[in-house]
Amino acid sequence: MKQYRINRAQFPYVAAILGGILLLVLLLTDGSHGDTGFTLPLLTLLLISEFGCIATAIGAWLGIQQLMKSRFTLLMIAVSTACAMMAPTFAVLGAGYWPHY
């Protein structure tokens, strides 16, 4: 059986795609659409937002590292910027889902 490994150069791309999908899921299933929208349990929303924040923060960090040590490419700049913008978005959404007592 062949083992597949992801290297550091590919992770920002994977993080950006995964972050986009998770952000779309959070925005469509947060329960703010009334009774007609599909909602997820609170723990699931918190888990998705935490995982998305961590994954995109690592993607932004690795993308910036790759930009610093090699030549600048427009695609890597866009991917790193997208990851850097999604990480705090996940954090703010996750904090907003947390119930206030």
Mind listing the pLDDT tens digit for each residue in 35-79? 656 788 889 999 999 999 999 999 999 999 999 998 889 999 999
User: How many domains in the chain?
Assistant: 1
- Tell whether 33 is covered by a domain: yes
Torsion angle, CA of 24/29/34/37, rounded to 10 degrees?
90
Contact between 30 and 44 under an 8 Å Cβ cutoff? The reply is: no
So what's the pLDDT on residue 9? Answer: 85
So what's the pLDDT on residue 97? Answer: 87
- Tell whether 15 is covered by a domain: yes
pTM of the model: 0.86
- Tell whether 78 is covered by a domain: yes
- Tell whether 18 is covered by a domain: yes
- Tell whether 79 is covered by a domain: yes
- Tell whether 16 is covered by a domain: yes
- Look up the domain containing 76 and give its range: 11-97
Q: Of 8 and 43, which is predicted with more confidence? A: 43
Helix axes 11-28, 74-97, angle to 10 degrees: 40
- Tell whether 3 is covered by a domain: no
